[in-house]
A and B are shown apart, each in its own frame.
Chain A
Amino acid sequence: MDFINSNILTIVTFTPALGALLLLFFPRSRAKTARNFALIISILAFLFSLHLVAHFDSNASGFQYRTDRAWIPSFGIGYQLGIDGISLFLVLLTTLLTPLAILASTRIRDRVKEYFLFMLLLETGVVGVFCSLDLFLFYVFWEVMLVPMYFLIGVWGGERRIYAAMKFVLYTMAGSVLMLVAIIALYFLNGKATGAYTFSYELILAAIHGGKLVLEPATERFLFLAFFVAFAIKVPLFPFHTWLPDAHVEAPTAGSVLLAGVLLKMGTYGMLRFSLPLFPNMSHLFAPFITLLAVVGIIYGALVAMVQPDMKKLVAYSSVSHMGFIVLGIFSFTPQGVEGAIFQMLSHGVSTGALFLLVGVIYERRHTRLIEEFGGLAHRMPLYAAFFLIVTLSSIGLPGMNGFVGEFLVLLGTFGVNKPRGVVAAAGVILSAVYMLWMFQRVIWGEITNEKNRTLTDLVSYEKAMLIPLLFLIFWMGIYSNHFLRPMDASVARLLSQTGKREIQYAVAPALQP
């Protein structure tokens, strides 16, 4: 058992990569076999990841399932993996969404083998990001995930796919290279202060909280910003969001699902894992700005979503709005806010993933996503309409469904610290109800106005197979929220204890006050 526990993360992370390697040897003509193989591999990875939940110790606040090996010892780089309550469900979300995304790609006809190859590589990259406990390793996974996503958008995307893919890469790179500088700087600062040159997240964290590594305010500010910009671009926090609508609109359905479902979470996860505990002073100092941006993002995303004629773009902007909630929760520094943010990450992954899948379903039938092209779909596709309704309601945060819990907790946490922002964010919830229900109304209700919609067929079996798990989760997360919140408690408590305000630093550097 020990062997499994100490290697399970490696297995979960690299099963998809191994599958991708094997896919290389599949003959090009056997497209269907390649797809089934990729599906089996991703389901296998999901089953492996279930082990993580099954043996997870909810009372422990530290990292579990640790793997710790030397990788590049001459530079203090280790192969360190581990998860805690914060990353546990994010790993699961990834391993769950990947098989669903692969199912959603059933109608990919072009270069099928390579498509699934990149899909599996992407999964490895994302899971790796959530599991890495070594800053260098984290950066490697962070970058590795770029290339497959670039190809998924650039090769299998829509009209302006090349532009969108390039924009996605350049935005992400611009942020992440600065993070690389910050990581290296942290390495040397820590090395000079403690004598131990290492990229280990835990050792550096221990040095910072043990008082061995004291960062100058200016240095801490630079490091914080370098990390934060990389994460903010990924989230994407307003005003770094402009790549997202392009990437979403051009990406194939599965790409959008993974992009919204898990890739964006890498940004908020990074804030929780790195920004807050490593740079607590600056996190507090910048929190007012950041929450302001988050609130602006919530309202802005919602308003822009309202006027979108394209369903995918609408969902994309709704993501900007929802991700704002997550950032807001994180920087409330309250247990409710942070847990709500993590919960919202999962719930957004599930709901938005489902929304993109649903949009994909009609896109594959009609090859358009314009809302005006549809209407009255409930007549032809009753099951689809029902599913759509559930997901819409979940997305606008109806109690009893997943969206409610996260938003409620975030707002609860925010109200305690900053009432005005809480109020404005709450208005965002209302706006989200407006644009989502309006879209639903125009697409599903009413009479069939467009003759082309008369021949539409309802969901077929693979489409049901990819949607039902998500619908199930929507209710599970909404009703038994504690199943998901409980394992986070210990880790979030530890995180917040590390993020505690240290007043002294403010007194020393009044010039840094906003």
Chain B
Amino acid sequence: MVPTHYYLILGAALFTIGVIGVLTRRNIMIILMSIELMMNAVNINLMAFSDRLQQVTGQVFAIFVITVAAAEAAVGLGIVIAMFKNKETMNINEIDLMKW
């Protein structure tokens, strides 16, 4: 039996990696993946809690999160493609039409 806090530490680590990825990486695809990583860290948390509390709610929540993340990814990729058509770059630093 793996103790719950192991999972929580794993979740926190993944989440932190995700956050750092979003903040430091410049490639849009990698940023998207980092966001996915954050979502999955949350899922790990939810599953761990669900397991410890012997409840199904957390798992249901996790399934919802996965579903929504999938929808979000679909829309996100759509947006990236639309942008790529107009401006062939994947580097977030080059997307700088609007600045004050």
The answer to whether any beta carbons of A and B sit under 8 Å apart in the complex is no
User: Which residues of chain B have a CB within 8 Å of any CB of chain A?
Assistant: none
